[in-house]
Amino acid sequence: MTKKITIEKIEELAKRRGFFWQSSEIYGGFSGFYDYGHLGFLLKNKFENAWRNFFLSLDDMFYEIFPTNIMPEQVFQASGHLKSFQDPLCKCKKCGNIERADHLVEEQLKESFEGMSPKDLTELIIKHDIRCPKCGGKLSEVGELNMMFPLDIGADSESRAYLRPETAQGAYINFKRMFEILRKKIPLGLAIIGKAYRNEVSPRQLLIRTREFSQAELQIFFDPDKINEHPKWDEVKDYKLRLTTTKDRKNIIEISCEDANKKLSLPKFYIYYMAKVQQFYLNVMQIPKEIFRFKELSEEEKAFYNKYHWDIELDLASLGGFKEVAGIHYRTDHDLSGHQKISRESMSISIDGKKIIPHVIELSFGIDRNLYALLEMAYSEERDQTILKFPRSLSPVDVVVLPLVKKDGMPKKAREVQDMLKQDFVVFYDESGSIGRRYAREDERGTAFAVTVDSQTMQDDTVTLRDRDTTVQIRVAIKDLIETINKLMRYEIDFEKAGKVVYEP
- When asked if residue 366 is in the footprint of ligand GAP (CB under 6 A), the reply is yes
| Interaction of residue 148 with ligand GAP, rule CB under 6 A | no
Q: Is 376 in the site for ligand GAP (CB under 6 A)?
A: no
- 327 touching ligand GAP, by CB under 6 A: yes
Nearer to ligand GAP, 324 or 424 (CB): 324
Amino acid at residue number 386: T
Q: Which of residues 163-202 bind ligand GAP (CB under 6 A)?
A: 166, 168, 198, 200
Burial of 111 from C-beta contacts in 10 A (0-12 / 13-18 / 19+):
exposed
Q: Are 186 and 179 in contact (CB under 8 A)?
A: yes
Q: Running DSSP on this structure, what letter comes out for residue 496?
A: G
How far is C-alpha 363 from the chain's CA centre? 11
State which of residues 217, 398, 430, 443 lies at the interface with ligand GAP (CB under 6 A): 217
Q: Which stretch binds ligand GAP (CB under 6 A): 66-74, 105-113, 179-187, 324-332?
A: 324-332
Contact status: 40 vs ligand GAP (CB under 6 A) = no
Q: Rule CB under 6 A: is residue 213 a binding residue for ligand GAP?
A: yes
**By Cβ distance, which residue is nearest to ligand GAP?**
366
Q: How far is CA 145 from CA 31, 89, 226, 460, in A?
A: 18, 7, 38, 69
48 interacts with ligand GAP by CB under 6 A: no
Q: How many residues bind ligand GAP (CB under 6 A)?
A: 18
Residue 398's nearest CA partner among 370, 421, 371 is 421
Alpha-carbon gap, residue 307 to 328, rounded angstroms: 11
The answer to whether residue 79 forms part of the interface with ligand GAP (CB under 6 A) is no
Interface with ligand GAP by CB under 6 A: which range of 34-42, 206-214, 233-241, 431-439? 206-214
Q: What is the CA radius of gyration of the chain?
A: 25
Sole binder of ligand GAP in the list 296, 313, 315, 368 (CB under 6 A):
368
Of 192, 206, 277, 325, which one interacts with ligand GAP (CB under 6 A)?
325
Whether the CB-CB separation of 65 and 190 falls below 8 Å is answered with: yes
**Of the listed pieces 50-58, 294-302, 358-366, 466-474, which binds ligand GAP according to CB under 6 A?**
358-366
Q: 10, 375 in Cβ contact below 8 A?
A: yes
- Least separation in angstroms between CB 344 and ligand GAP: 24
Separation of alpha carbons 500 and 464, rounded Å: 9
User: Taking the complex as a whole, how short is the minimal distance between the CB of residue 300 and ligand GAP, in angstroms?
Assistant: 15
CB of 407 vs ligand GAP, minimal distance in Å: 49
Continuous segment of H or E residues that includes residue 367 = helix 367-378
Burial (CB count within 10 angstroms: exposed 0-12, middle 13-18, buried 19+), residue 191:
buried
Which of 454, 439, 456, 461 is CA-nearest to residue 405?
454
What is 95-108 written as a DSSP string? T--EEEHHHHHHHH
The number of helix segments (H) and strand segments (E) in the chain equals 17, 27
Candidate segments 1-9, 14-22, 213-221, 344-352, binder of ligand GAP by CB under 6 A: 213-221
Task: Supply the minimum distance, in Å, between the C-beta of residue 14 and ligand GAP.
Answer: 15
Considering only 81, 209, 295, 302, the residue that binds ligand GAP (CB under 6 A) is: 209
CA quadruple 376, 327, 176, 58: dihedral positive or negative?
Answer: positive
Of 259, 301, 324, 424, which one interacts with ligand GAP (CB under 6 A)? 324
Residues that bind ligand GAP (CB under 6 A): 166, 168, 198, 200, 209-210, 213, 215, 217, 324-327, 362, 364, 366, 368-369
